[in-house]
Chains A and B, each alone.
Chain A
Amino acid sequence: MGEEMKWLKLGKIFDPTEHTLPSRCVEFAQSPQTLVLKDRVRVYFSTRERDSVGKYLSHVAFVDFERDMRQIIGVSTQQVIELGELGCFDEHGIFPFNVVRDVDRILAYTTGWNRKVSVSADASVGLAVSYDDGLTFKRHGKGPLLSASLKEPFLVADAFVARYGTRYHMWYIFGTKWQKFTESEPPDRVYKIAHATSTDAINWQRDGRQIISDRLNADECQALPTVICLNGLYHMYFCYRQAHGFRNQSSNAYRIGYAYSFDLVDWVRDDSLAGIDVSEEGWDSKMQCYPHVFFLDGKAYMLYNGNEFGRAGFGLAVLET
């Protein structure tokens, strides 16, 4: 180990303001995640509608690319999945949306958001299923698949599922605390990456601990873990940031982190091996976040968001060989 994997940036490939999206969504294309189909690559993302009181609701949409990832075929024209019913965990938004092919159906691991009072929101992981090749999804129950538990009190989110061997693996995050860093500002959240396994993709056994060590400090926020297996090693990319002052100060904002593992049990963190960083200027110069790695026609690619958490779209990078 110690060989850096370098990513070659291919630029921003999607801007949500250049398309008409369903559900009156106008900006944001967050956490792009792929479903590779025979004749196209479907990239799901979360975009935003403003509700009657001016707050955001995150909706899932998709954009189809030709398999060369250059030409856009089209965007979703109908709702991919409805928001949760009154009182449910995903009433106020779904973001992100991770899809996995499972024989003759597509599973989607959703993160559902619900607004709260003392803190801004909470989240849980849900499951939805598509029988039409990923055009539309129906929920597996009104409630979440993975919700708060004894050691994971809130913000259970960002599920990424892959099958290795006979087991399904889920990497996700859980909240550890809410804290007021200043008198005048609302509380900030802290969350860490965790891991769970399953034999049926529905019932999960959580490891029950943080699996990626902190680098910044004990309040480091880790999100959107994504994992691939390459050259006999498991590689995880994720994003991390400071707990406070991360929206406006670039030095505190999201960057891409990296860890590797031989056995999917122990992970060694080494961000210097991430092989990708913010650009000098442009759409991904102030922050880099919500990475998603996938294989396409023998190459490894990374989709990710830039400034303002992906308000203006997402970009692509390819792993240099």
Chain B
Amino acid sequence: MPFNAAIGLAISCDEGQSFQRLGDGPVLSYSPDEPFLLGSPRIRKFNDCWHLWYVAGKEWLRTSSKPEPVYKIRMASSSDGINWVKHGKDLIMDKLSQHECQACPDVTHRDGKYHMFFSYRDIHNYKSREGGYRIGYAYSEDMVNWLRNDDLVDIGLSETGWDSEMVNYPHVFMLDGETYMLYQGNEMGRAGFGLAILEESAEWGKK
């Protein structure tokens, strides 16, 4: 296996300029149904409780070239940010195939619902324009049951340029009354990242 990953915790006391690890080991690691590749942690606090959305590896597939991992979005909760209880289920239904790789679950709460922007791709041909990462979307009333509808996010590839082959790893945030999305483009953000602004102000999750 060429690589592995787990989730750690670091703390900053200088407004985010520098961080110190809380321990040498991970704060979230493997378990019986999450055997390897824990990553993409995104932490949120809703109703006085910490929620961590992350990605867990399911299997390594032998392909005609090198082994490829398959990973899905999952969630864990905590009262102190240190001791976590895993929810133990894949949250987002597959769209492309059972081998769809999902990454970067970015959740916000708005208009009475939870909204998740994430990235997804298949395991074959993902370095090309055809099979590269796209940004997906799902919403939920309870953080646990999610309805996926990628058409609602409406941020596709540009015709040409830095985000013409793939768009991925979205991060949605509010600033001075506007809603923005930061995201990466071609070659997994090799050349940097870009910004988008939400045009419509209609209620999210409705079409």
Contact = CB atoms under 8 A, between A and B. Distances in A.
Interface string A267-304: 00000000000000000000000000000000000000
Contacts, number: 77
Centre residue among A89, A145, A147, A148 by max chain B CB count within 10 A: A147
A88 interface: yes
Interface residues of A, number: 23
Interface in B53-100: 57, 59-60, 62, 67, 69, 82
Nearest to B29: A147
Interface string A78-102: 0000000111110100000000000
Contacts of A151: 23-25
B175 interface: no
A142 B31 CA distance: 8
Interface of A: 85-89, 91, 114, 124, 127, 140-145, 147-154
Contacts of B36: 87-89, 143
- Mostly, the A contact residues are loop
A258 B66 CA distance: 48
Given A149-B26, A150-B25, A87 B67 contact: yes
Contacts of A144: 30-32, 35
B29 A149 contact: yes
Interface residues of B, number: 26
Given A87-B1, A87-B60, A153 B32 contact: no
B29 A148 contact: yes
A143 B31 contact: yes
A276 to B, nearest CB: 34
Contacts of A127: 32
Contacts of B59: 85-87, 142
A149 B32 contact: no
A114 B69 CA distance: 17
B109 to A, nearest CB: 28
Contacts of B34: 143
Contact of A150 (B1, B26, B30): B26
B31 A150 contact: no
